[in-house]
Structure 1
Amino acid sequence: MSEQKNGRAGLIVWLYTTKYVNKLKRYGLVHYVSKNINYAVLYVNKDEREDLSRTISKQHFVRKVENAYQCELPKTFDGVLDKVTEMAKKKTELEKSELETSRRVI
């Protein structure tokens, strides 16, 4: 139980064909496979991301490998509502000032 979890990192694997998608399972967790666009979302340990992306890109059925940044996005929305209401107030004040200046010009 004292073992700490390594964070997950996502990889977007662009494929020539989805026929060999099962071979990706040895590198990590295959989360999603798109047969129309020919890509797969693969989750691996953060520590192994660079090495695995190099080895996966050498496979004959892989077009290219990109990092997926969804795991790095913030998952909390603390204070977002306050920021949005503040931005809305600034926008309405700006519109009012522009309206007043346009009336003065006329």
Structure 2
Amino acid sequence: MFAERIGYIVWFSDWKAARALDKYGSLHYMSRKMNYAVLYMDADTSEDTVRNMQRLPYVRKIERSFRGEIKTEYESNVPDKTRFYGL
């Protein structure tokens, strides 16, 4: 139903020119202070899109975001100590 999405961190040198990154995918966030943008795009066309973005004169570096691969289900093997601190 939904296509697989991959996130990329795009470091740029010109903020005004970087606003045009939204034509390469879903522009999630742009930082003026640190000069980076978070961009999500389809996984099947991401390699071609990244190659095209690297040719842009204002793009310095492109990094893949590993946020989707981080484990978000946690196990608690430590006993709950809050019952010992009752009033």
State the TM-score, normalized to the length of structure 2.
0.82
Q: Aligned pair 1:60/2:60, yes or no?
A: no
Count of aligned residue pairs for this structure pair: 79
Paired residue type of 1:24: L
- The structure richer in strand per residue is 2
Match runs of 1:13-32 below 5 Å = 13-32=10-29
| Partner residue in 2 for 1:89 | none
Tell me the CA shift for residue 64 of structure 1.
Answer: 1.1
Gaps of 5+ in 2: 80-87
Q: Aligned pair 1:12/2:6, yes or no?
A: no
1:14-51 CA-partner distances (Å, limit 9, x unpaired): 00121112210101111111111100000001112211
Gaps of 5+ in 1: 87-106
Aligned residues: CA RMSD: 1.4
| Partner residue in 1 for 2:72 | 75
Match of 1:81, SS? coil
* Poorly superposed stretches of 4+, deviation over 3 Å: none
- The structure richer in helix per residue is 1
Q: Percent identity?
A: 34
State the TM-score, normalized to the length of structure 1.
0.68
Q: Which of structures 1 and 2 has the bigger CA Rg? A: 1
Match of 1:55, SS? helix
Where relative contact order (Cα < 8 A, 6+ residues apart) is larger, the structure is: 2
Q: Aligned pair 1:33/2:35, yes or no?
A: no
